Amino acid sequence: MTQFDQRNITMVMDLYEMTMAYGYFNDKDKDTKVVFDVFYRRNPDKGGFAIFAGLEQIIEYIEHLHFDEEDIAYFRSLHLFNDAFLDYLKDFHFRGDVYAFAEGTIMYPNEPVVTVVAPLIDAQLVETAILAEFNHQSLIATKTRRIRKAAGKRVVSDFGARRAHNMDAAVYGARAAYIGGADGTATVLAGKMFGIPVGGTMAHSWVMYYQDEYEAFKNYAKNYPDETVLLIDTYDVVKSGVPNAIRVAKEVLEPIGKRLKGVRIDSGDLAYLSKKVRKMLDDAGLNDCKITVSNSLDEFTITSILQQGGCIDSFGVGERLITAKSEPVFGAVYKIAAVEENGTFAPRIKISENIEKITNPGLKKVYRIYDADGHSVADLIAKADQPIDMSAPFRYVDPQKPWENRYFTNCTAKALQKKVIENGNRILEQQPIREIREYVAKQLEYEIWQEEQRFENPHKHYLDMTPEYYELKMGLLHDSMKE
């Protein structure tokens, strides 16, 4: 299943993309090739890294991009475009190439994660859709990883669909959450579309429907004797919820050879209550019964609960995961980097009074640099046609301290971008989502410094440049000052 099934989402674009395309069409510039980069400027939550997610949906969008008759009719109704341009749109399809990091790659600010090399109109029309897919899923994957880190080896489940910003946000947010490290989701469509493990038991309404709590628990256990997890906070966790759960375990499940699988607490002082519940369960011989908690959780509340000695096996995380509540915007941008002139790509640079908004120009490559132990020590931007040879000490420039002579020694370099679309056609085989999730975990366990993974004051990952690329950028900046 894809996001295009039974609908055409080509029109998810800003109007200015179409007005610019119309201008390029009239000026006979529509076939001029250009380079656009997707990058972001700051990690969410003042973190040390982010996770790239959403590549599969970017590829799907570009592959299926086309304008239906209804789309053309709508554009005609705006009275902005002539018939020649509207006729051109009828047979439009993306004709360019796309390069990207592998989905799930740990990424850092100001490096080109996705690069579009395409005719001018083609490159312009995909801007909004690429950013929408990139920003949303990368944000949720990154937030989930923080929650995953706080929870340690305990189970983390996405409970966020009902608080998501819409249905697509729920489904694709669940996908991103799984990539970021969630063990499963409560969102059934996400499970169906992506093969994510789904889970869920009961709501308070189940308990409240019956005459009393025990009857509700008993009926649930009879329906799901192998998967009985009881919600114990509808009335009073300690005085009724746990005693009734224990009673069901002893009177309903154990006589048929089954065990109470778990209980869930959805309100109150979760640290305090979980300790009380654990003792009551253990005293009843239910040492194997798991405790799940939910209710406005995130990496900060989870850390606090566990520091207080909370006896918790599983976290159901909802609104603060699916909306990335503490930092709900991932600020990736789409900027032109080069224009084809006389058969070569001439670099373009955006100048700003805000230094952080000055772009990295030109067609380029980004490499991850590893030390002899396999740890990532920096990322490196180079000119696209520049060979990178790490067999000898390799000189690089730290843009923050360009006057220093610095070298990578006993290091290796890996190019991060690979071509995923060629002439509008997918060339990257679709990856199983489990493999993407495992790739994230592997990088964070073996490659990325633990100091970069701290919540507070994380180590800053270096983004260096080859001397040749640094001179290219400085030359463009100097030339701009002459004008």
Q: How confident is the model at residue 337 (pLDDT cuts 50, 70, 90)?
A: very high
pLDDT of residue 483: 56
Does pLDDT of 43 surpass 70? Answer: yes
Contact 166, 130 (CB under 8 A): no
- CA dist 337 and 110 (Å) reads 13
**d(C-alpha 467, C-alpha 381), whole Å:** 10
Q: Looking only at Cα atoms, what is the longest distance across the chain? A: 87
Helix (H, G, I), strand (E, B) or coil at 202: coil
pLDDT (0 to 100) of residue 411? 98
Query: What pLDDT is recorded for position 92?
Result: 96
- CATH number of the domain residue 445 falls in: 3.20.140.10
Over range 160-166, report the average pLDDT.
96
Rounded to whole angstroms, how far apart are CA atoms 286 and 317?
Answer: 25
CB 379 within 8 A of CB 108: yes
The pLDDT assigned to 195 comes to: 97
Q: How confident is the model at residue 167 (pLDDT cuts 50, 70, 90)?
A: very high
Q: What is the pLDDT of residue 28?
A: 87
Angle, helices 167-180/433-442, rounded to nearest 10 degrees: 50
Q: Which amino acid, one-letter code, is at 472?
A: L
Q: Is residue 29 assigned to a domain? A: yes
What is d(CA 35, CA 117) in angstroms, rounded to the nearest whole number? 5
177-231 tens-digit pLDDT: 999 999 999 999 999 999 999 999 999 999 999 989 999 999 999 999 999 999 9
Quote the domain boundaries for residue 434. Answer: 15-140+328-482
Can you give the pLDDT at residue 7?
83
C-alpha angle with apex 67: 66 to 68, nearest 5 degrees? 120
- pLDDT tops 90 at residue 29: no
* Residue 132 burial (CB count, 10 A): 20
**From start to end of 20-78, where are the E strands?**
33-39, 50-51
| pLDDT at position 317 | 98
Q: What percent of the chain has pLDDT over 70?
A: 99
Taking the CB of residue 17, how many other CB atoms lie within 10 A of it?
17
Q: How far apart are the first and last CA of the chain?
A: 52
Q: Does residue 195 lie within any of the structural domains?
A: no
If we measure between CA atoms, which residue out of 339, 42, 321 comes closest to residue 164?
A: 321
CA 330 to chain centre: 10
In sequence order, what are the residues at sequence separation of 6 or more whose Cβ sits closer than 8 angstroms to the Cβ of residue 347? 337, 338, 361, 362, 363, 472, 476
How far is the C-alpha of 186 from the C-alpha of 165, rounded, in Å? Answer: 16
pLDDT digit string, tens, across residues 340-353: 999 999 999 999 88
**Considering the domain boundaries, does residue 36 fall inside one?**
yes
The chain-wide mean pLDDT, for the chain, equals 96
Task: State the Cα–Cα distance between residues 368 and 463, nearest whole angstrom.
Answer: 9
Provide the pLDDT for residue 360: 97
Query: Residue 59: how many CA atoms within 13 Å on its side-chain side?
Result: 20
Nearest Cα residue to 293 out of 147, 403, 407: 147
The reported pLDDT for the residue numbered 63 is 95
Q: Calculate what percentage of the chain has a pLDDT beyond 90.
A: 95
Please indicate, yes or no, if residue 432 is contained in any of the structural domains: yes
What pLDDT, in 10s, does the model give residues 124-156?
A: 999 999 999 999 999 999 999 999 999 999 999
Overall average pLDDT of the 111-118 stretch = 98
Q: Is the pLDDT of residue 4 over 70?
A: no
- What gap in Å lies between CA 248 and CA 253, rounded to an integer? 7
Q: Is residue 22 part of a domain?
A: yes
Tell me whether residue 213 is in a domain.
Answer: no
Split at pLDDT 50, 70, 90, the class of 3 is low
Reply yes or no on whether the pLDDT at 58 is more than 70: yes
d(CA 115, CA 364): 9
Element (H, E) at 115: strand 114-119
DSSP 330-398: ---EEEEEEEEETTEEEE-----SSGGG----SSEEEEEEE-TTS-EEEEEEEETT-----SS-EEEB-
Residue 131 lies in a domain: yes
What is the Cα–Cα distance from 38 to 130, expressed in whole angstroms? 8
- Please check whether residue 469 lies inside any domain of the structure: yes
3-state secondary structure of 434: helix
Question: How many structural domains are present in the chain?
Answer: 1
pLDDT digits (tens, 9 = 90+) for 230-259: 999 999 999 999 999 999 999 999 999 999
Q: What is the pLDDT of residues 301-317, one digit of tens each?
A: 999 999 999 999 999 99
Report in angstroms the alpha-carbon separations of 317 from 147, 165, 207, 235, 297: 9, 16, 21, 22, 5
